[in-house]
Amino acid sequence: MDQRALGGNGLQVSAIGLGCMGISQSFGPSPAREVMVDFLRQAVEHGVTFFDTAEVYGPFHNEEVVGEALEPLRDRVVIATKFGFSLDDSDRKLDSRPEHIRTALEGSLRRLRTDHVDLLYQHRVDPDVPIEDVAGTVKELIAEGKVGHFGLSEAGSDTIRRAHAVAPVTALQSEYSLFWREPEDSILGTLDELGIGFVPFSPLGRGLLTGTVDASTEFSDGDIRAKLPRFTTLARQANLALVDRVRAVAERKGVTVGQVALAWLLAQAPSIVPIPGTRRLSRLDENVGSTEVQLTPDDLTELDEASTQVKVVGDRYPEAMQRMINR
């Protein structure tokens, strides 16, 4: 697979990464651990070198699976993980105090079976801790060799600038897709100006842009989509209008809806690296295949018009989660 550079500090990753959250949570019952270990190793053989996890996924279990799977392949992969939550109680309060960052990282290193994390994100901006203190702590960890690169997740432009002034930010991770184009308002311009890469999560709209979800789809126990405003039956009925228009492009080109959605993202900037999540090798291969899809200027115009003309119904998150983004 083609490689892309995240940021200006030499971090090279596969053009399509793998969001690992779903291998252990949020999308219904999880497959057996040994099945997911084998899947992650096969993902490397199929060209994926960029793996995204977090201590809060599980919590902890996700990093353990990723660590077991990738330990024998460590020199071939880039591992990203995240800190920023206190996991001592069920509330999962934000906590980016410098001492907590260090404690969280030590736990991540142990679970990931490695002596360094290639990319360490602050998972959510903590309003009680100055971002300069966060950036300064990660800068120290980079100097100590425990972290390769600094990242932010769901941060606003002002926060990105303040952090970057202390320690170079290599990548921002936030949601971005044909269903959610808010980063275009100011975030993408800031990243381009500062030379920061962008890692879109949920680039397939949590399954909507695969063309396999419709208004009659029933979500299993433990599937986060059952609680998301965008996935109520009425919201899906409205939002499928966009899927239909993406499908028209896909059918014309002989590819899948999901491949068109990912190819559109890749075409937005050479520093964009989507991390679609999956637990199936066939779906991973489909996602990787999006790097071969060539969208013409007319295709891109058609997709842009479709995503601006169809009004997406439903927020990304319930209200409490929505308050944690774009700080």
Catalytic residues: 57
- Residue 58 region by backbone torsions, left for phi larger than 0, else alpha for psi between -120 and 50, else beta: left
Between CA 8 and CA 240 the distance in angstroms is: 38
CA–CA distance from 10 to each of 18, 51, 135, 162, 321 (Å)? 20, 17, 19, 22, 33
Nearest to 290 by CA among 303, 306, 302, 274: 274
Q: Where are the beta strands (DSSP E) in the chain?
A: 3-6, 11-14, 18-19, 50-52, 78-83, 117-122, 147-153, 169-175, 197-201
Quick check: 290 and 266 in contact, CB under 8 A? yes
List 14's β-bridge partners, or say none.
3
Between CA 111 and CA 106 the distance in angstroms is: 9
Extract long-range pairs of 190-194: CB within 8 Å, 24+ residues apart: 190/157, 190/160, 190/161, 191/160, 191/271, 192/269, 192/271, 194/160, 194/161, 194/164, 194/169
